[in-house]
Structure 1
Amino acid sequence: LRENVPESKFVLAHGQMSASELEDKMSAFCEGKFDILLSTTIVESGLDIPRANTLIVWRADMFGLAQLYQLRGRVGRAKLRAYALFTTPATRTITPQAQKRLDVLQSLDTLGAGFQLASHDLDIRGAGNLLGDEQSGHIREVGYELYQQMLADAITLLKAGIEEPQEEVWSPTIAIGAPVTIPEDYVADLTLRLQLYRRLSTLETDQDIEAFAAEMIDRFGPIPPEVEQLLEIVAIKALCRRAHVEKIDAGPKGVIVAFREDKFANPAGLVRYVAEQRTSAKVRPDMRVVFIREFENTKQRLAGTRRILRALVEIAEKKAA
């Protein structure tokens, strides 16, 4: 900065400064005593500087999509036209993921872009636990499609003059250790992949899942292993809802089942079922049910988990009937 803009006055700001020192420097910049603020990513944390109209991010390829989006929002907060410049190395090739992040950021220029950001970020980094609620933040907490559904339901209820929904919406957490995604080399178009994810999150029955799989084969060809696993997870999620299972943890040595609010529709039936398993099932003190199994691969783990859940559904619904 001294070499290229010697006439400008600049101030430093970073997270290792004391609160009072940081406040003094930021106040001085906001009051116009300095022309340039040289800072770390601390400025992404909601600092409001209306007079700032230009942002330059060095090595933007090293930042996450959400970080870049937050940083860009630090300028353009007043009537002045704002500019956000994101730099990348001129002599070094950036990763494909970094290029995708920058391309997506450039396309997010409309109202409601935050929802699009969540979708693109999910697709670039991988779906992960897309069909469960083991994410952070409101959208990631329940999944993108469920969030949209909850928002639409809330709007409908408000219009009808109803303050709270009659039935709580919840989504089971499913930790199987299997990649659940639609590969880019199977469905190349990003928007189409997101549409498919949304549709997947609404499937509830085996017939729905089979019809969806048939459509995928017809449109895109033979289903790759990742999508097969994704469809299995969708089926497992539906069974979890029916059995009131809040969380499933499955690994090479077995499956752990946690019921919602530690309640099961047919406790006596569950006790009998666990007893019939002899040494291959037990109830832990924290009310989790452990099923001891040997799974050699992901396919066996998914199939075994599905069998256990089918049995639990049968027991729960027998009591309900």
Structure 2
Amino acid sequence: FCVVPRIEDMGRMAERLAAIVPEARIAQAHGRLAPTELERVMTEFGDGRHDILLSTNIVESGLDMPAVNTLLIHRADMFGLGQLYQLRGRVGRGKQRGYAYLTWPPNHRLSGAAEKRLTVMQTLDSLGAGFTLASHDLDIRGAGNLLGDEQSGHIREVGIELYQQMLEDAVADLRADRGRRTAGERDWTPNISLGLPVLIPEDYVRDLPVRLGLYRRIGALASDAETEAMAAEMVDRFGRLPEEVENLLAVVTLKRACREAGVEKLEAGPKGMVLQFRGNAFSNPAGLIGWLGTRAGQIRLRPDHKLAIVREMDVAQRLRTAREVLANLNRIAQQAQAA
């Protein structure tokens, strides 16, 4: 296989291959070919009527050609880590040893992410490499901005704990473990979006396994005392906490407060804040209405049963307002429990 990142690269690469190996029979395959034509090309290559298949990354999955033992990737720096891993898996599937060559222009300066991807590819050579790949890919590319305002696709904006919780929930659902429990007994995770970066910066903790371990520990913090101890430990090990780490610890604390108050979703931005109760119900509705009466003009209950605060807020004000509102909701909820 000879794989290029773009269809427009194929003509030039075909000329280079023909010049280097003039006796080779070269076939071309890409996504713009008609399905019947693509099938014909692939069948002929599989039958040995062509020596080289020049293609885009459409060959990265679904192919099992044990006779193919060599892969040449042109401009490997333009491929994602998952794509490179899948492409590498196309060769060496038979008894012959496979060879994968990742190339890029000698004078081309690689971006930081591209250099990381290519470095990681050199280390993925053992059983269980798929999990290692996923861990590196999450750190380089991200799992999506699950908490913030933007869908940036960077774990740097999120932290990994919510992603892990969602994954655990999905696995539990597939195993039908939760089908035996009532809705009230099921675990749930509040969704918090404050539009601020929550992460452990790479330049603060450089070692990936250590960062992932810290994310797991932070996601499991169960009290303010544990959070304070975690912060003190990180200061002792790595130095003064960056703003992003302080935000991460603050969001984890807010999550606990949301669970205690029954707040399923908290969203805030420059223009205000919205809180949604789990199941659109609050444990002490009378107390809530009474408290809202003392905050007329500041916070209101919308017809869709969500609490809304409409005013301009910077990042610090969002955190402070969220803490204050959740503290009051917890106090009101505890009044109902005491009664």
**How does the TM-score come out when normalised to structure 1?**
0.83
Give me the whole-angstrom Cα distance separating, in 2, the residues matched to 1:46 and 1:287. 49
Unaligned runs of 5+ in 1: none
- Aligned partners of 1:262 and 1:287 also within 8 Å: yes
Over 3 Å counting, the alpha-carbon distance change for 1:142 and 1:231 in structure 2 is: closer
Aligned to 1:262: 280
Partner-residue secondary structure (3-state), 2:19: coil
**Alignment partner of 1:240 out of 258, 271, 274:** 258
Give me the whole-angstrom Cα distance separating, in 2, the residues matched to 1:62 and 1:255. 40
Tell me which amino acid in the other structure corresponds to 1:168: R
Deviations 1:9-60 (A, max 9, x none): 2222212222222222222222332222211122234444443322222111
**Alignment partner of 1:91 out of 82, 86, 107:** 107
Over 3 Å counting, the alpha-carbon distance change for 1:209 and 1:12 in structure 2 is: same
Deviations 1:90-145 (A, max 9, x none): 0111112211111122222333333322322222246764779x989xxx895236
Partner-residue secondary structure (3-state), 1:290: strand
Aligned to 2:163: 143
Aligned to 1:302: 319
1:207 aligns with 2:225: yes
- Aligned partners of 1:146 and 1:201 also within 8 Å: no
Over 3 Å counting, the alpha-carbon distance change for 1:63 and 1:276 in structure 2 is: farther
Give me the whole-angstrom Cα distance separating, in 1, the residues matched to 2:48 and 2:305. 61
Aligned to 1:177: 195
Task: Report how many aligned residue pairs link the two structures.
Answer: 311
- Aligned partners of 2:261 and 2:326 also within 8 Å: yes
- Which structure's CA Rg is the greater one? 2
Deviates more, 1:280-289 or 1:32-41: 280-289
1:313 aligns with 2:330: yes
Aligned to 1:56: 72
- Aligned partners of 1:127 and 1:181 also within 8 Å: no
Tell me which amino acid in the other structure corresponds to 1:143: Y
- Aligned partners of 1:126 and 1:181 also within 8 Å: no
What pairs up with 1:1-321 in 2 under 5 angstroms? 1-125=17-141, 129=145, 143-144=163-164, 147=167, 164=179, 166=181, 167-296=185-314, 298-321=315-338
RMSD: 3.1
Give me the whole-angstrom Cα distance separating, in 2, the residues matched to 1:175 and 1:210. 22
Over 3 Å counting, the alpha-carbon distance change for 1:115 and 1:169 in structure 2 is: farther
- Aligned partners of 1:119 and 1:144 also within 8 Å: no
Unaligned runs of 5+ in 2: 1-16, 155-159
Over 3 Å counting, the alpha-carbon distance change for 1:62 and 1:180 in structure 2 is: same
Give me the whole-angstrom Cα distance separating, in 1, the residues matched to 2:125 and 2:187. 32
In the TM superposition, residue 150 of structure 1 has moved relative to its aligned partner by 7.3
In the TM superposition, residue 198 of structure 1 has moved relative to its aligned partner by 1.2
Deviates more, 1:308-317 or 1:226-235: 308-317
Over 3 Å counting, the alpha-carbon distance change for 1:129 and 1:264 in structure 2 is: farther
Give me the whole-angstrom Cα distance separating, in 2, the residues matched to 1:273 and 1:25. 72
Deviations 1:47-101 (A, max 9, x none): 4444332222211112222222222233333443222221122011111221111
Tell me which amino acid in the other structure corresponds to 2:202: E
Partner-residue secondary structure (3-state), 2:18: coil
Deviations 1:185-222 (A, max 9, x none): 22222221111111111112111111100111111121
Q: Percent sequence identity over matched residues? A: 51
Over 3 Å counting, the alpha-carbon distance change for 1:286 and 1:192 in structure 2 is: same
Over 3 Å counting, the alpha-carbon distance change for 1:182 and 1:27 in structure 2 is: same
- Aligned partners of 1:129 and 1:174 also within 8 Å: no
Give me the whole-angstrom Cα distance separating, in 1, the residues matched to 2:33 and 2:303. 47
Over 3 Å counting, the alpha-carbon distance change for 1:201 and 1:34 in structure 2 is: same
